[in-house]
Chains A and B, each alone.
Chain A
Amino acid sequence: MEGVMQTETKIRAESGIESGPRGPGCSLRNFACEQNLLSRPDGSASFLQGDTSVLAGVYGPAEVKVSKEIFNKATLEVTLRPKIGLPGVAEKSRERLIRNTCEAVVLGALHPRTSITVVLQVVSDAGSLLACCLNAACMALVDAGVPMRALFCGVTCALDSDGTLLLDPTAKQEKEARAVLTFALDSVERKLLMSTTKGLYSDAELQQCLAAAQAASQHVFRFYRESLQRRYSKS
């Protein structure tokens, strides 16, 4: 992790729209997003990546329990609910990863002694679930109007047995993969906010995945931008 953080700072920001030869695995599935679809939460979004779908609701800044109050910033809570059964260790671990990512971008100091709650509901899991959760959380935070330093997105990469890089893998691809890496990147500097990996990979492969994730993040952020442009357009 430390090595990543060190080398990560040296990655330059990407520029331009890419063109050229494309591998079959190196594409993002079709994305869809709907904001403000729930009436009760302050902000909500449903995010779909292929068949993976996550619904997110955000409350806040709102009243906080005295026990959870932080005197100089907002308390950020993330709950992730699985579709079947009760939340277990895997959900807790993901919740923590998402919370840490959100904490890095949300300007909590502007709303001291309040709570910002992000509730995520898995609607269907067909691979790259954590990335989809991150994207849904970001869109819901935007919808709720929570002040943020930057937007963030999640990108999942998979390395299969012969080292081919796949972006936004499906559940089947994830299962067959040798390593699955998920990154959260911010929109301003395209830098790493969070990374979690599973499986074996070399340091060169890690850097390749990170570079690919950065390229993919451009598309995701462009999707965010166009989606918000459409929403706030007059026509």
Chain B
Amino acid sequence: MKETPLSNCERRFLLRAIEEKKRLDGRQTYDYRNIKISFGTDYGCCIVELGKTRVLGQVSCELVSPKLNRATEGILFFNLELSQMAAPAFEPGRQSDLLVKLNRLLERCLRNSKCIDTESLCVVAGEKVWQIRVDLHLLNHDGNIIDAASIAAIVALCHFRRPDVSVQGDEVTLYTLEERDPVPLSIHHMPICVSFAFFQQGTYLLVDPNEREERVMDGLLVIAMNKHREICTIQSSGGIMLLKDQVLRCSKIAGVKVAEITELIQKALANDQKVRKEGGKFGFAESIANQRITAFRMEKAPIDTSDVEEKAEEIISEAEPPSEVVSKPVLWTPGTAQIGEGIENSWGDLEDSEKEDEDEGGSDEAIILDSIKMDTGEVSNIGSQDAPIVLSDSEEEEMIILEPDKNPKKIRTQTISATQVKAPSKKPVKKRKKKRAAN
């Protein structure tokens, strides 16, 4: 589905509002939207909501062999996915420019800033290291994906616990969650991206642009910073020229915003940890706002299954008894076997057996071939002449097989079946009716 284009009057309206220092959602120039962080039941799973933008983060780990040139370092892997759920314009399975740009920025922000101690992820140098994989799924796109994604990534990494391992000599033991408490990753600092949107060639600036504002902006400046006011990444896109003062001012704002967000993250993490320690309820079920009328819950519901057995028996007794035929393999010649009633192969020639039906007064169509030799000869024969192979009616044929007592066997020679193949086809339904009438 295509994105609905923004009309000219909408664009003018938005720009005019920005010129008047007004934002459609009532925020001030430097205001962030509300950030909500909720955690799942597993370690390393979180949902970050930035206003209506929503990102799901999940960290997982795996033991792999390290890269050749980095024998003692663990591997970090980031993958942001723009699901179609987030916006109709995101097509599944397509690497759009936006996606590549976001993934690259995320890698620069989190991997290249060395916020995770990769050396602590080494188990056996040159042989086994941990690969930490961060999957981020955009669930709803309302602008400023990168900020939400970077928060989700760092929160998920902080929340994640990897299984403990011990090395004794050459032996590496991996402990399950029950055996030993999993260990958290060692995180040096928390880089967080802050986006600045520029309008009218850099005259106006907005923090945390929403989707509408992103559509009318001229340029974007993303600054990744940690709470120690160290810049981890800076990227300007959209082709606007910024003055030195503007960049400095932006970095100052970013410092303030990052401090606020870091505090929020730490509070959320501490809260979750406390709940887990106390054995309280945690997970997404707890984060659903109960007072909303769109949300509803039901407690554990017992279900009476005492009458299930009787019901099942009733149905089975009412149902037609299953066929008593047990397929016994028939050995024609050594090295071959045939299962079933000895009916001709139903894959290749269904319709012709029907023709045979008519020829013989519709009595029956169970056929046995004389010998395997003939059979093989026939197959090659058919293959060479013409083989309109019909596979569709196999169901119908199966049903006939299941009625064993109605099938007196008939012997047929290969010449008949060869002519049958060319015979005009008829609906197999007719055949069944006829057979019923005959019986």
Contact = CB atoms under 8 A, between A and B. Distances in A.
Interface stretch (A78-86, A146-154, A176-184, A189-197): A78-86
A105 interface: no
Interface in A63-102: 63, 79, 81, 83-85
Nearest to B298: A31
Contact of A59 (B1, B56, B288, B301): B1
B315 A18 contact: no
A36 B40 CA distance: 20
A204 B301 contact: no
A107 interface: no
A48 interface: yes
B100 interface: no
A119 B85 contact: yes
A203 B277 CA distance: 46
Interface residues of A, number: 69
Given A7-B316, A121-B56, A207-B312, A51 B285 contact: yes
Given A121-B137, A211-B308, A30 B300 contact: yes
A39 B60 contact: no
Interface string A204-220: 11011011100110010
B316 A203 contact: yes
A26 interface: yes
Contact of A38 (B137, B140, B313): B140
B41 A48 contact: no
B23 interface: no
Interface in A1-56: 2-3, 6-7, 10-11, 18-23, 26-41, 44, 46, 48, 51, 53, 55
A85 B142 contact: no
B283 interface: yes
Contacts of B40: 53, 123-124
A79 B316 contact: no
B319 interface: yes
A20 B285 CA distance: 29
Describe A's contact surface by its main secondary structure: mixed
A165 B303 CA distance: 12
A139 B140 CA distance: 18
B304 A215 contact: yes
Interface in B307-360: 307-309, 311-313, 315-316, 318-320, 322
Interface string B49-89: 00010101010100000000000000000000101111110
Contacts of B289: 34
A117 B297 contact: no
Contacts of A39: 52, 140, 142
Contact of A215 (B308, B316, B320): B308
B135 A84 contact: yes
A169 to B, nearest CB: 13
B243 interface: no
A207 B1 contact: no
Nearest to B283: A51
A33 B45 CA distance: 19
9 contacts: A19-B304, A26-B304, A40-B87, A41-B140, A165-B308, A203-B322, A211-B307, A230-B296, A231-B294
Given A39-B140, A215-B304, 8 more contacts: A6-B320, A32-B295, A33-B296, A37-B294, A123-B40, A124-B45, A167-B303, A231-B294
Closest 10 CB pairs of A and B: A18-B304, A207-B312, A227-B296, A57-B85, A119-B85, A34-B295, A32-B297, A208-B312, A27-B302, A211-B311
